[in-house]
Amino acid sequence: MRKETLLATLGCHPQDHSGVVNTPVYRGSTILFPDLASFEAADNGTTQEPIYGRYGTRTTTELEQTIAKLEGADHAIITSSGLSAIVIALNAFLKTGDHILMVDTTYGSTRRYCDVELKRFGVETTYYDPAIGQGIEALIRPNTKIIYLESPGSLTMEMQDVPAITKVAKAKSILTMGDNTWGAHLYYDPYALGMDISITSATKYICGHSDVVMGVITCHKQHYPHLLRSYKNTGACASPDAAYLAHRGLRTMAVRLKQHQQNALEVADWLSRRPEVEAVLYPALPGAPGHELWKRDFTGACGLFSFALKQKAPQAALAAMLDNLELFGMGYSWGGYESLITPVNLRNSRTAYKFPHEGTLLRLHIGLEHTADLIRDLEAGLVRLGNAA
Ligand SMILES: *Cc1c(COP(=O)(O)O)cnc(C)c1O
């Protein structure tokens, strides 16, 4: 079955719930055992049934099974946030003295986790150029445990040659994991591209309505015990209420993403013809950086991209543009139904390559509003920017 059909059918068991279509929210901390034998089975770890609220109830386990199937993985683990999914996945395979290769364009909080927490525990991180491809081989050390990927990268949107990197990793028996939030489980097949473990912030398109924080890790059988151990020993579980909302979000994810993509392409194309704009960083846009790799590795795109202005806008001009937008909100996260804009300050977050644009960088999330209204709003903003500069 195709992914659209999986989204519309998986995790529906009305006969178990008085005919109600959706699995209800099973809230629980204590889960009672019917007898001593089942208590002891849970104690030995030989049961598949929910045994304690922190490890999930049926509301969460059905969501896990749905996402695993959607991504073609054996297992999924739902966590409290995208960041906790990243932390759990890294911790599952690392110990003092290990080394990891981290893409330079990784999500900012992933970078801070490596630089602050992993460093304190004696794990060393080397950042690599997202364009490195098979050149990754030269950075591998005897103690390299993980190669971590994110394609396209956060904020600056560089595509990676994922199969070239995972091929080198496989030959050296090094684990690969990727943050695949942008591909949203629909437009990307991390396992076909050779990744071992896939991480997604479900906060974005899975939930899709700017009201839930959640993460997902998927994997095949051989890595599940490590990930499950790390997850269980961390306690970073998602609530059943959040899981319910996530499953509800999944039902419409394919249709939402189609519209996000269509709207984003229209806005990106319009921006690419504006005189103020130096570059539109949206791999799905023909002619944009990474477009050829995107065509090879993805079957679609989401609504998130960035663009660079030709000039560094003075603060007052940027405020004149951003403070008076009617439809674009300024705030963190993305993947909801609404459009967002944020100025990007890369600070010192690029150390392995040089980002080529000097002008002001802005990130857009294109929502489900009509593009005629979105473009009008952006156009008025660019005019205010020009008048104030
Ligand atoms: C938002 C985001 C995360 C973190 O997810 P949270 O659910 O906010 O913790 C991780 N990776 C990427 C690429 C993101 O955009």
> Using one digit for the tens of pLDDT, what is the confidence trace for 186-227?
999 999 999 999 999 999 999 999 999 999 999 999 999 999
Residue 384 C-alpha to ligand 1 middle, in angstroms? Answer: 32
CATH architecture of 253-388: Alpha-Beta Complex (3.90)
- Measured from the Cα of 213, ligand 1's closest atom is 7
DSSP three-state, residue 232: helix
Token pair of 372 as six digits: 């005629």
| Options 179, 188, 196, 251, the catalytic residue | 179
Say if residue 240 is preceded by a cis peptide, omega within 30 of 0. no
Ligand 1 test: best mutation among 80, 107, 151, most atoms within 8 Å of CB? 107
Fold: same for 3-249 and 253-388: no
Confidence (pLDDT) at 46: 86
pLDDT at 336: 98
Global pTM? Answer: 0.97
**What sign does the CA torsion over 83, 88, 89, 95 have?**
positive
Query: In the chain, where are the structural domains located?
Result: 3-249, 253-388
CA of 82 to the centre of ligand 1 (A): 5
Q: Which residues of the chain have pLDDT under 50?
A: none
**Cα of 152 to ligand 1 centre, how many Å?**
13
In angstroms, the first-to-last Cα distance of the chain is: 54
Q: Does domain 3-249 have CATH number 2.60.120.330?
A: no
Q: Which of 58, 111, 204, 384 is catalytic?
A: 204
Bridge partner list, 178: 149, 198
Q: Are 224 and 264 in contact (CB under 8 A)?
A: no
pLDDT at site 45: 83
Indicate which residue of 26, 58, 104, 107 is catalytic: 107
Give the three-state DSSP class for 145: strand
Do strands 124-128 and 99-103 pair parallel, antiparallel, or not at all (unpaired)? parallel
Which atom of ligand 1 is found nearest the CA of 83? 9
Question: Tokens 């990197």 map to which residue?
Answer: 165
Q: Tell me if residue 54 is catalytic.
A: yes
Residues with CB under 6 A from ligand 1: 81-83, 107, 154, 179, 181, 201, 203, 213, 215, 333
Considering 27, 43, 54, 172, which one is annotated as catalytic?
A: 54
Residue 121's pLDDT is what? 98
Amino acid 213: pLDDT: 98
Active site residue 204: yes
**What is the pLDDT at residue 386?**
96
Q: Annotated catalytic, 107?
A: yes
Cβ atoms of 130 and 163 within 8 Å: the answer is: no
Query: Residue 303: its pLDDT value, please?
Result: 98
Q: Which of 288, 281, 261 is nearest to 367 (CA)?
A: 261
The residue whose CA has the least distance to atom 5 of ligand 1 is 82
Residue 23, both tokens: 């699995």
- Residue 111 CA, ligand 1 centroid: distance in Å: 12
Q: Which two tokens stand for residue 41?
A: 């089975």
pLDDT per position as a tens digit, 261-320: 999 999 999 999 999 999 999 999 999 999 999 999 999 999 999 999 999 999 999 999
Active site residue 35: no
